[in-house]
Amino acid sequence: MDTLTVETHARRLLGAMLTHGDVTVRITEVEAYGGTDDPASHAFRGPTPRSAIMFGPPEVLYVYLSYGMHYCANVVVGREGDASAVLLRAGEVVREVDVARSRRGQVPDVRLARGPANLTQALGLALAHNGSSLTGPEVVLRRPDVLAEAISAGPRVGVSQAADVPWRFWLTGDPTVSAYRRSPRAAAPEPLG
């Protein structure tokens, strides 16, 4: 059975290759969302039509509509019922870059999959992929056997609840990682003691 924490699952997604159709993205930045115990999680108040997939089996996509406009993709992790998930925040397009460019428009290549909605758009994922298996045939996730790069950790982007929990992870120094933006409604940062 799965006894790994959601943070460990998040770290293990760094360097992973996510393929949809022809496009492959190497994941460089993620955020952990810890199910019903995490006030920043969509699962915190129990299942809703939007978050129902989080409460099911792991190793599927959780795709949701953000701010009424953008799609964001997560990997459901942990045991069935945990409702834990890892938001895919940024990556490097490593295959069929021209297809990703056609979806994203006129931006530098390092920005093709920078930001969760941009990564999802570069891969061509949408609400139809909510609940899709990560073992194919349409969507495939391959985790690395070993990770060469160092991992950094810090607070999650844009969340106003549990704003100081360091559950954002990224490959140290990677040029595709997004900039940190704290929620304007978050409480004042907790000073280092």
Residues in a beta bridge with 10: none
Q: How far is the CB of 148 from DNA (least distance, A)?
A: 25
One-letter-per-residue 3-state SS of 77-93: ECCCCCCEEEEEEEEEE
Q: How far is the CB of 61 from DNA (least distance, A)?
A: 11
Angle at 174 between CA 162 and CA 95, to 5 degrees: 110
Long-range contacts: 128-131, Cβ < 8 Å, 24+? 129/20, 129/61, 129/63, 129/73, 130/53, 130/61, 130/62, 130/63, 130/64, 131/53, 131/56, 131/60, 131/61, 131/62
Task: Tell me how far, at minimum, the Cβ of 122 lies from DNA, in Å.
Answer: 10
User: Which lies closer to DNA via its Cβ, residue 48 or residue 102?
Assistant: 48
**Least gap, CB of 146 to DNA (angstroms):** 27
The residues that touch DNA, with contacts defined as CB under 7 A, are 31, 33, 40-43, 45-46, 48-51, 54, 62, 64-70, 72, 74, 85, 87, 104, 107, 111, 115-119, 156-161, 178-179, 183-185
**What's the closest the beta carbon of residue 50 comes to DNA, in angstroms?**
3
Q: Are strands 139-142 and 17-20 parallel, antiparallel or unpaired?
A: antiparallel
* Alpha helix (H) residue ranges in the chain: 6-13, 97-104, 116-123
CB-nearer residue toward DNA: 148 or 179: 179
